Amino acid sequence: MVLENSPNLFLQKLHHQFMSFIYRNDLQKLLPLYSSKWNPHLFGQHYQEHFAPLINKKLKILEIGVGGYEDPYSGGDSLRMWKQYFPNSMVYGMDIVDKKALQEDRIKIFQGSQDDEGFLKKVVAETGRFDIIIDDGSHRNDHVIQTFKILFPELNNGGIYVVKNTHTFYIPSYKNWSNFCKDDVAPHWAEYGGSLDLYDQKTMMNFLKRLVDCLSHQEFIHPGYTPNYFDKHIVGIHFYRNQVFIYKGDNTAPGNVVENNTLRPDFLQEIGINSLAELKLEFPAIDAPTKL
């Protein structure tokens, strides 16, 4: 049987290699070759848009979630795709299952959980900072938030952090799920810890929405406000269907009418007052995103 199938398999492999070479500069076409997942075109077009300017750079790319779940010999499709697309880059994978069997030239894989701070720090100590991080791992809301808090600071300036499959933030925990669905639920779906409540503070989507305000922290009228790490280092956030791209850089330039979180003297003069206190504003507390 194996012998009968092998010429076929060989031709399939050859075809795959040929096509991935032809499409090596286009993630929209490359992704369907490396992924049988739901709607690869949807993800591919945004990867292409954001990664094309970086294609020939020498980068360190980390993808959390190698694929293949419990099988140590299965998965690694996206790692191989990044290797093909970024010819000068090193690709790192991370999975809770030992996937080291899938390592090859320019692909190194670590075993550990994405919410384990000690493990993540050890990885960074070995690899150095990353230029691109893609979170396609457990998709648990608490994990995704925890991983972002630990790994975003380990991204180089100009780097991009991608959170994939954000649909899991709308899938409630098993307890809630069972309230409206009598069918059996696969365990990993039950553990995502999303919510039916769009304003539920514990979901990754709300964490990401809170990060949007970080972009404008220099515009906050809030004397005494202390900018947090994400305020100072997030320079762009792009939301798409099931995919979010967060750009890192220097976000410390002063605001338009605000400087050091108070109104600038020239603006006070323009509106005809001597100090902000004259406006008798009340300043609600602003929690850091890390509190979410």
Ligand X SMILES: C[S@@+](CC[C@H](N)C(=O)[O-])C[C@H]1O[C@@H](n2cnc3c(N)ncnc32)[C@H](O)[C@@H]1O
- Please list the active-site residues: 139
The nearer residue to ligand X, 45 or 228, going by C-beta atoms, is 45
Q: Is the dihedral of CA 76, 80, 81, 82 positive or negative?
A: positive
Q: In this chain, which of 69, 117, 275, 287 binds ligand X, going by CB under 6 A?
A: 69
As measured in angstroms, the least distance from the Cβ of 289 to ligand X is 22
Is there binding between residue 96 and ligand X (CB under 6 A)? yes
Rounded to whole angstroms, how far apart are CA atoms 109 and 25?
24
Window contacting ligand X (CB under 6 A); options: 44-52, 110-118, 216-224, 272-280: 110-118
Window contacting ligand X (CB under 6 A); options: 6-14, 92-100, 246-254, 263-271: 92-100
Is there binding between residue 30 and ligand X (CB under 6 A)? no
Is there binding between residue 142 and ligand X (CB under 6 A)? no
Q: In this chain, which of 19, 20, 29, 136 binds ligand X, going by CB under 6 A?
A: 136
Cα→Cα distances 198→146, 179, 195, 290, Å: 20, 18, 7, 19
Q: Is the dihedral of CA 248, 147, 87, 37 positive or negative?
A: negative
CB 63 within 8 A of CB 92: yes
Is there binding between residue 193 and ligand X (CB under 6 A)? no
Describe the crossing of helices 27-34 and 40-51 by its angle, rounded to 10 degrees: 140
Q: In this chain, which of 40, 44, 75, 172 binds ligand X, going by CB under 6 A?
A: 75
Rounded to whole angstroms, how far apart are CA atoms 237 and 228?
17
Rounded to whole angstroms, how far apart are CA atoms 23 and 17?
10
Is there binding between residue 67 and ligand X (CB under 6 A)? yes
As measured in angstroms, the least distance from the Cβ of 247 to ligand X is 21
Retrieve residue 209's tokens. Answer: 């929405």
Residue ranges in contact with ligand X by CB under 6 A: 35, 63-69, 75, 77-78, 94-97, 113-115, 136-138, 143
